[in-house]
């Protein structure tokens, strides 16, 4: 099965959506969840979600606090904020619109 690269700019949206579903999770949990949903269709370097998490936190869309992971290690748990949910709605709409435009464009006959 061929796994594809993540389209530019979509990782943030994925992380946001995942946190919206999971409630609160650490980086590993988020990465696992994305991989499970993608069912191997995505080549994700799990490390790349940390810069994404930082960006989201700087924008105030998620918040974080320190806690203990399943293996009793220090881990940061991320939660989506209210403005994060709002952003998720907007981004989702944008994404859907972009995809439908692209679809129509790509299918159009010469």
Is residue 46 at the binding interface for another protein, with CB under 8 A as the rule? yes
Q: How far is the CB of 106 from another protein (least distance, A)?
A: 31
Which residue blocks in the chain are alpha helix, DSSP H?
Answer: 10-22, 27-38, 49-58, 82-107
Which range of residues in 5-13, 22-30, 92-100, 102-110 is near another protein by CB under 8 A? 22-30
User: How far is 55 from 33, CA to CA, in rounded Å?
Assistant: 20
Q: Applying CB under 8 A, does 4 fall inside the site for another protein?
A: no
Distance CA 19, CA 27 (A): 10
Query: Contact between 3 and another protein (CB under 8 A)?
Result: no
Site string for another protein, 56-85 (x = CB under 8 A): -xxxx--------xxx-xxxx---------
In the list 45, 104, 105, 106, the residue contacting another protein (rule: CB under 8 A) is 45
Q: Can you say whether the dihedral through the CA atoms of 34, 31, 98, 93 is positive or negative?
A: positive
């Amino acid at each position: 099965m061929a796994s594809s690269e993540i389209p530019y700019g979509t990782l943030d949206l994925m992380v946001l959506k995942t946190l919206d579903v999971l409630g609160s999770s650490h980086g590993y949990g988020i990465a696992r969840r994305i991989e499970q949903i993608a069912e191997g269709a995505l080549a994700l370097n799990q490390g790349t979600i940390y810069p994404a998490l930082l960006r989201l936190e700087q924008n105030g869309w998620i918040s974080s606090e320190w806690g203990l992971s399943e293996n009793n290690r220090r881990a940061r748990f991320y939660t989506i904020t209210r403005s994060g949910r709002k952003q998720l709605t907007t981004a989702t709409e944008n994404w859907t619109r972009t995809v439908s435009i692209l679809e129509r464009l790509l299918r159009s006959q010469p």
